[in-house]
Structure 1
Amino acid sequence: MADVSSNIPDVPESPEGPDLDALRDEIDELKKVPTEELVNPTPEFVEENEPTPEPTDAIGSETWPSAD
């Protein structure tokens, strides 16, 4: 079996260049997005029309009329 490491060009420890700056910016933006949103994104239409939750009374706290 051939030595694969001899076919790999020398890569600096931290590469630099103008094209890498754009990639780093994109990576930084993606890091801000939660993993769940990347894996299972919420459609924008659904997100815009999602109802706002309202507080409700706790179960059993309702006052019912007595059977008298």
Structure 2
Amino acid sequence: MINELLKYIKHVAVYKTIRSVKELERFNPVDMNEPFPEKLFPLIESNFRSLQHKYEYLRNVKFGELNKESY
């Protein structure tokens, strides 16, 4: 996920740069070989679902029943 976040930061930096230069306003980051990282949102969603699962488990566990392998 770190690599996808770094790609996103680079994409945004290129976007901001081309929007700040009048001569480059007609371009998009993909034109500068900096496409939006397609794996980013699925990775965030997967990470969110995993955290949600852990939260639900911890919320429902009874004292003394905590099993780290279950979440």
Q: Which has the higher contact order (CA 8 A, sep 6+)?
A: 2
TM-score (norm 1): 0.27
Structure 1 or 2: larger helix share?
Answer: 2
Q: Which of the pair has more CA radius of gyration?
A: 1
Q: TM-score, normalised by structure 2?
A: 0.26
